[in-house]
Amino acid sequence: MPAAAWTQVIPDSIAGCYQMTIDGQLEYELPPQQFTLMSEMGADAFEADDYLIRPVNASPGGRYRWAYWRPMGQDSVLMIWTTGYTVTSVHVEARGDTLHGRIVQRDDAIIVGERDPEARVIVVRSQCS
């Protein structure tokens, strides 16, 4: 997506299918690598008042029951997949036609002194097929 499309984060301009590539190892199950950012708002539990994320081709989302996204300023998006206990968050910023950022996983079993697993991530727009 051209960077100009990010001057105002408008859900309809961002909505579409994406492919995510993760550069690193993570501890918990990964969210779907191909997904759709929807312009439809959620109404259920964790998704309420945020925009929905759904796997491409209705492929299973693994153990993640809820998935949603929200604009974070003029050129970035926060995506969340959660079971209610484990959360995988992806925060990306637009760099030309590609989104770059970090993926972080958190679990409700907090171990003092341990860092949350994280890795670099690249997200690109893809065909919805």
- The predicted-structure confidence for 5-26, as pLDDT tens digits, reads as follows 444 456 777 889 999 999 998 9
Q: By residue range, what is the domain housing residue 63?
A: 3-125
Distances (CA, A) of 18 to 56, 97, 99: 9, 12, 10
pTM (global) more than 0.95:
no
Q: What is the mean pLDDT of residues 24-47?
A: 90
The one-character DSSP state at 14 is H
Q: Is 5 helix (H, G, I), strand (E, B) or coil?
A: helix
Domain count, the chain: 1
| Total count of residues recorded for the chain | 129
